[in-house]
Structure formats: structure tokens, C-alpha cells
Structure 1
Amino acid sequence: MSFKLLARRFYSSKIVKLTSESYPNIKRDSKYGKITPQTIEFFQNLLGSSSTITDNDLLSSYNEDQMRKYKGQSQLCLKPKTTEQVSQILKYCNEFKLAVVPQGGNTGLVGGSIPVFDEIIISLSNLNKIRSFDQVSGILKVDAGVVLETADSYLAEQGYIFPLDLGAKGSCHIGGNVATNAGGLRLLRYGSLHGSVLGLEVVLPDGTILNSMNSLRKDNTGYDLKQLFIGSEGTIGIITGVSILCPSRPKAVNIAFLGLDSYEAVQKTFQRAKNELCEILSAFEFMDKESQLQTLKFLKTSHPLAEDGEEFPDYNFYVLIETSGSNKEHDDFKLETFLESVMEDELVLNGVVSQDESQLKTLWNWREGISEASTFDGGVYKYDVSLPLPVMYDLVNETRTRLQDADLISIDDSTKPVVDVVGYGHIGDGNLHLNVCVREYNKNVEKVLEPFIYKWIQNKNGSISAEHGLGFQKKNYIGYSKSEIEIKMIKDLKNHYDPNGILNPYKYV
């Protein structure tokens, strides 16, 4: 059974409060219009009845995020099948000042794709066609609603790979990935979407279609306008098409899963991996003991580094290293030489290397499964941040201490709301996932965490969002990562392209 299916089954019994009830200081803006029978009739004529959802039971999954933390009150979800239909929707909504929320796979962690009040949801799930692929250049053109795993499977048949990989690849949409500038597991090897996205098709708030899908890899004629929409979270336009550069698929992939004693050893091992594995290093993920214990409780199976008779191995940190290249014999030798070296120097205390495709997937499960496992006890506060490597794990330690001092954390005492604090992430790009696992969402916990975490990050010159964007959760904290001038420019862009403010209101802009 998949992680997501287990989590959804577990959460099905949870009652989710409306976001407007959880945050009563946020009020619906009276400037926005309301849905009328004429509104419903217009969209039914445009899209058909099956793509104009008004049934409350059907709307429930669109109104809630995957963590079941945020819940909107939308009474209408539209599912266009073409860019032209998206254009007609926005043109109508802009004319009557109807607020809208673009929604992809709804896998975000900050409430960015969920309505706060009665905004119309525009689901891109029916824009799901692969438009074209050039086997010479490696350029893939797709609709925004294509699922990431679907695109990667298609590319695998052509000998290529999608330059982004996420734990949510089975449900997230490529358009949503671009809109939130997702980083993923292999940014170390393939870089960010700011570099691999070559062109976009975007519908602006007034219905105008901006098309740069035919962009070349090199084009120095004026502003690179597509960059405005990468990471914009659907606030100045809805992405409907993506043109992206895809690399050749590796012919040989290895996974090493390692146990280490300290975060200092993790850093030194990373430095050695960059120097000794060089061009074949494609991922370097770290996990603390607490994250693995949480995953063990969730997966209910043997840990890959557990010795005979052990329930759980006694290491403070774990590292997953992936190598990928074109020559298995060459890659195997480099990885084996590297592992012998770091183990001789006692940086790595134990490890296992995948022997086949099945074991490779199993080892990845112990990293990719952490996100879902963190929700197992009831809920999770997720902080997806960027920090300088030397201080990255300090945030986990200080957060745990702060919750202990507030008498809010206990693994064994069910009267305490916090179960544990776990840390893991992408060492290669300084991206920490700080997860505070709770029995239930609790305002006292939130007050201890925020804005403490954001202030701490600001003092270390980090970013309060490395992936997933700002959404609703972090909308009040953008000042901890952006200057006043930067915030003003962001607002100026929003006001220029969306003067009526209909696109994704109540979020970070």
C-alpha cells in the first residue's frame, strides 16, 4: 500500500476546521463578487456540466490540502481542458471580480492551492497532454496538468529523464512544480527549474495568453519573462504549458545508505563525495535518527541498517547517496572506492549498497517516506527552508529545545501535543525539512514555533522557503527573506498584471 493511501485513510476520520475559523483575523475582501446562477450557467455552457463541479461532496477534496490543515469554502471547481478555456474563465472572472485559485495536484505544504473563503477553484487536472518531444535536443513540451511521474515514464521510453524528482511525483503536476519552483531530490545534479524550463504558456488575469513555448536555449532579446512565473504561485498568471530541457537517462544507478555519528561527519562525507564521486553524484540526502524512527513506526518493517536481532540501528544520522552514469563498471568502482575511504576514516560507521532495482526502491523509501510518516500521529508542522550547511541542523536542535522548555513535547505522554521534531533534507542545496510531528494542530505550538523559526533563519542569512513557496502559511513572513525594496517590486508586479487582485488572493502578495 502506498504512503499516500495510508495517510489518507488515517486522516479520513479527522475533522478539519475551516481556515477562516482557524485564522479569524483574515476577513473576506468585499471587493470580490459572488457566484450567481448566471455564473454557473456561463461555465456549464463553456466547459460542460461534468467539468463544472458544484456538489459539496465532490468539492471537499479540492477544498482541503493533503495535510488536512487548511480548508476552504469554494462552491465551484472548474476543470478546463484547453488553454483557451482557461482564458475564457479568467476573462469572465476578471470582468465580474470573481476570485480564483489555480490548483494542480494539490500536494503543496503551505496552503497555496487551497481557497481561504469562496474563491473559484480552477483545477488543471484535465490539461494533461504531452504535446511533443524532440529526441535530438531533449526538449519536452507538456500541458501543465501532466503528472510528473507520467512525464518521466514517457521520457524513460525515449532514453531521457525529467530533471526533477519528488516524493509526490505520482500526484503532483508539472505546472504546479513550476509555479512553486520545486527543487526535489536531484537538484544537485540537474539544477533548478529556473535553468531547465525553456518556455511557458501562461494565461494572465484578464485572459490574455502569453506563449513562449518555442523559446530557444539561448535567447538574449530583452527580459526573460518566463522567470516571472517560476515560483509565482499562481498570483500573476496560470501556467498552462511548459517547455523543459530533459537530460539523457542514466544507464547505471546505485544507492548507498549509510549510518553516521554526527552532523559534522555528514558534512565531511558530503565534501568527500563531491570530490571523489564528481560527475556521477546525483543525490546526497541526510536524515536524523528521529526521522528514521518515525518512518520505522510508519512502515513497520526492518530498517536497512539494522543488524540481526536489532530493532533499530544506533546511529545519530543517516545519508542516502545516489550515483548515476553511463558505465556501471566505472560507477561501481568509484562508489566502492569512496565508501572504503570514508569508512576507513570512520566518517561512515556502516552502510549498505543496493544490489538490484527492488532494493534501490526500498532504500529510497526510507528517505521519501519521511514526509508521510511525519503525519502518522495526527499532523505535522512542516518548515521547508534553506540555510548555510554548517548551521543547518542547529535549527532542529534549537526547535526541539524550545518545545521542551515550553513543556509541549513528549514521545510517551499523550497529554503533550508534540510527538517529536525531525530533520532531514537535501545537503547538496542546503535545503532542510524541519518537521514538528504533533498529535493535533495546536495554537500553543504555533506560537512557540512562529515567528521564532523565521527569525532564526533570518539571523543566519537563510530563506524561509526553499520549496513549496509561501502560500497562506508563510504569507506574513516574507520580510524575513526579502528586503522592503524586493517586496515593493513584487507588489508592483502583482498590481500591474492583476489590478483586480483576482488570482490566488490572501496569499503571500
Structure 2
Amino acid sequence: MVGGSVPVYDEIILSTALMNKILTFNSISGILTCQAGCVLENLSLYLEERDYIMPLDLGAKGSCQIGGNVATNAGGLRLLRYGSLRWDCEKCEMVLADGQVLDCLATLRKDNTGYDLKQLFIGSEGTLGVITAVSILCPRKPKSVNVVFLGCETFEQLLKTFQLCRGMLGEILSAFEFLDSECMRLLNTHLKLPNPISECPFYVVIETSGSDPTHDGEKLHNFLEEAMTSSLVTDGTVATEDTKIKALWSMRERVTEALTHDGFTYKYDISLPVERIYQLVTDMREHLGDRAKSVVGYGHVGDGNLHLNITSPAKDPSLLAAIEPFVYEWTASCQGSISAEHGLGLKKRNYIYYSKSSQAVALMGDIKAMLDPKGILNPYKTLPDNMK
């Protein structure tokens, strides 16, 4: 998404695809240890056979590798319930720039002896070391999963629905995603996906997962009754069967695919105070006027992560100049992050100062210079060209 794995000049590309072995799985602690080249979907299938699941779920699960997931600190659709990989990755094995193997693969849940070195490498995009193996804490497979697709008239009502949802669903809430009517239009137009409910300005996908179908169903029923009677929600549908659950999730997961059919897409992955996340979409539409074909917003309400996408018939330098740095200045004015989960890579490295202080960036540079003095690990990525 940000060119984090794209070579710039004469770099050598390193693949870990053949490092695809599951090393151990402890069915008591739920800790899976595997090599970095394991594909996320294969790990999910392995764990489901043992009544566990991976805490991470991504649209690219059929091709992405767990080492890359950890190196980019992937978030995904269920971060609200299970957190990012910073929370779930217990230990790592890394190869440093000088060839040393740093083995931090002990699978103890609690270890308060010195610095937690793995955290340096999680999210570092391969600039400090090559992750070769990981230990992941995996939750038990839920016995009861429900997905709800709801429509709201305003974003304020959507936020109130989220508040109600957290209060009434509590421990069984695993996802709260949203998309706007422009996303729905693209899904209908380009992918021929029918709207499962009546037309609304905003749509919500809620997932619950728990251990007691009766208990979960009752909580969900009470929430929906309250949301409808208080007029926070205008329409909705519930899915409990796998095929319908997948169909409802596709309304959220396939927005990116629909955008590819709409023209050249400028993608932004922003983290903002949750009450401000859609205001950026509204302001961007007003700012760009008719220069853009579509301006859409969707993402993870539970963690304030907005995916802002702007399309045009073809690549347009004048449109890009209108978007940037406006989008970053707007985000910085709200003390937001210019990258919630996609990282900085090649494209965003020079915008890091919109989210991090010069002192913090300088310290990152010092750490990079110490661990990789010759600058051979994923060069031209993450850190800015001109350090302040």
C-alpha cells in the first residue's frame, strides 16, 4: 500500500516463502510458533482444526505471510477484539544486518527481564532486521458468530450506535466496521453486489463472537431492539449462517476491489479521534470539488482508522497536488496519524513529521544506524530522506 517492499534502485529482494513450517503449537497456552513464510490463511486452517483461530484476519490472507504481517504490525478487521500484532506476537526470531540471529522465541507469557527487543522489529518494515520466525498468541475458536449489517442516517447516529454497541454487547463484540453510501454505489456498480438493506447514507458491519449461542443471541437481540426503537438505526439484517456471514462481510471487504474498477485510486490510511474520522471525507469532497471522480470513506470505527480513497479517470498530478499535503495537514491538526496500519514505506516516509516529533524521528535514525550501519536493510523506506 505504501511501497514498503518495492525496490527503488539495485536492491536484492529476499523471499521467505520457503520458510513455511509450523514449528510448535501449545494447545494449553494457545501459542503458535512458526516460520516467517507461513501464509496467514494456512495458519488459520491449521488452527481451526485444533479449535483455535488466528487473531489476525485480512482480505489478503490467502497470500500474505506472517513474517510480513508482523514486520508491518498488521491490524485487520478484528483489531477491536484481538488487538494488533504488537499485542498478539509473543516472541520473534530476527536476523540482523551483520548476520547475527537474535533468538527471542521463548513462549513465556510473562517475561519482565530487560528491554522487550521484539517491539523494535514489529512494525519496522524490515529496516532493522529480517523476521524469520514468530510466536503468536491465538484465541479459542468461538462457538457462536453473528454478523449484523445496519444502516444509519447520519454519522452521529453511527457513533451513538457504536457507543450503545460497546455497552450492550461488551465482551462478545469483535468488529465494528463502516462504509458510506459512495462505497455501496461502487459495490453495486462495479461488482453487482446488491444492497442487503434499504439505501442509507452510512452502513455498519458488526460481528459478535462468543462461547454461548443462546447468551450471545439474547444480547444481540436486546441491542438491536434498543438501536431500532431509539431511531439510531433505520434498517438492518442479521446473519448466523456461514454463507450469509460471508456475503455481509463482502460488503466491507470488497470495497477495495470495487475501487480498482472506478479508475486510478489515491489511498490514505488515517487514524483520527473517532468522532472526527468522517469529517475528513466531507472536507476532502468540498476541497476537491469536481476534480475527483469519487471520494469515499470506510474503515474501523472501533480504533478510529479511516480509509480515505479518491479516484480519478487516470493518474493526475494536479489532483495529487490538491490532495497532498492537505490530507496530512488536516490529520496533523487533529493530532492524528498519517498511517494507521499500512506503514510509511517509500511513499509516506517524508511525511513522518506530521505524526512524529523531530526528536522521535532522530532517535529512530540512531537506532537504524546502530543496527544497520551500512544501510542494507530495506533502504529508502520508513525514515525520511533528510533527517531534521
3-state DSSP of counterpart to 1:149: helix
Report the alpha carbon displacement of residue 272 of structure 1 after superposing the two structures with TM. 0.3
How far off its partner does 1:443 sit? 1.1
Mapped partners of 1:171, 1:186: distance in 2: 19
Structure 1 segment 245-256 matched on structure 2, within 5 A: 245-256=137-148
Find the counterpart in structure 2 of residue 377 from structure 1.
Answer: 262
1:145 aligns with 2:30: no
Deviates more, 1:284-293 or 1:436-445: 436-445
The reply to whether residue 501 of structure 1 matches residue 386 of structure 2 is no
Q: Does 2:213 align with 1:339? A: no
Structure 1 Cα separation of the partners of residues 109 and 207 of structure 2: 28
Question: Where do residues 263-342 of structure 1 align in structure 2 (5 Å cutoff)?
Answer: 263-305=155-197, 313-342=198-227
What's the secondary structure of 2:32's corresponding residue?
Answer: strand
**For residues 389-404 of structure 1, what are the structure 2 equivalents within 5 Å?**
389-404=274-289
Q: CA RMSD in A?
A: 1.0
Specify the code of the residue in structure 2 equivalent to 1:269: T
Could you tell me which amino acid in structure 2 is paired with residue 364 of structure 1?
W
Tell me which amino acid in the other structure corresponds to 1:506.
Answer: Y
Q: Matches of 2:41 and 2:107 in 1, distance apart?
A: 24
Which residue of 408, 432, 448 maps to 2:306? 432
Shift of 1:437: 2.0
Name 1:224's counterpart in structure 2. Answer: 116
* C-alpha distance in 2 between matches for 1:251 and 1:437: 41
Structure 2: which amino acid aligns with 1:197? C
The Cα of 1:215 is off from its aligned counterpart by 4.0
Instruction: State the Cα deviation string for residues 406-425 of structure 1 (Å, max 9, x = none).
Output: x412xxxxxxxxx2011011
> Alignment partner of 1:163: what SS?
coil
Return 5+ residue gaps in structure 1 as ranges. Answer: 1-108, 306-312, 410-418
Please give the per-residue CA displacement for 1:144-198, whole angstroms capped at 9, x wherever unaligned. 1111111111110111111111111111111111111111111111112111111
- What is the TM-score normalised by the length of structure 2? 0.97
Aligned length: 383
- Give CA-to-partner distance per residue, 1:103-122, whole Å, 9 cap, x none: xxxxxx00001101221111
Equivalent-residue separation in structure 2 for 1:482 and 1:128 (angstroms): 36
Match of 2:71 in 1: 179
Rounded Cα–Cα distance in structure 1 between residues aligned with 2:161 and 2:232: 7
Give the structure 1 partner of residue 319 of structure 2.
Answer: 445
Q: Which has the higher contact order (CA 8 A, sep 6+)?
A: 2
Instruction: Tell me the distance in 1 between the aligned counterparts of 2:15 and 2:284.
Output: 37
Separation in structure 1 between the aligned mates of residue 349 and residue 320 of structure 2, nearest angstrom? 15
Q: Which amino acid aligns with 2:267?
A: K
Question: Does the alignment pair 1:115 with 2:10?
Answer: no
Give 1:380 shift.
Answer: 1.2
Matches within 5 A, 1:228-239: 228-239=120-131
Identify the match of residue 487 of structure 1 among 340, 361, 380. 361
Q: CA deviation at 1:385?
A: 1.1
Please list every run of at least 4 consecutive aligned residues from structure 1 whose deviation after the TM superposition is greater than 4 angstroms.
Answer: none
Q: Using structure 1 for the length normalisation, give the TM-score.
A: 0.74
Give yes or no for the alignment of 1:457 onto 2:331: yes
Which residue of 2 is the match for residue 46 of structure 1? none
Shift of 1:314: 2.5
Rounded to whole Å, the distance in 1 between the matches of 2:240 and 2:190 is 25
Residues in 2 aligned to 1:204 and 1:198: alpha-carbon distance in whole angstroms: 19
CA radius of gyration, larger in? 1
Structure 2: runs of 5 or more not aligned = 384-388
Q: Is the 2:145–2:240 Cα contact (8 Å) retained in structure 1?
A: no
2:87 corresponding residue in structure 1: 195
Matched residue, 2:291: 408
> How far off its partner does 1:301 sit?
3.1
The residue aligned with 2:52 is 160
Matched with 2:386 is none
Deviations 1:344-383 (A, max 9, x none): 1110000000141100000000000011211112321111
CA separation in 2, counterparts of 1:143 and 1:474? 29
* Counterpart residue type for residue 151 of structure 1: L
Q: Does 1:473 align with 2:356?
A: no
Partners of 1:339 and 1:281 in 2: how far apart? 13
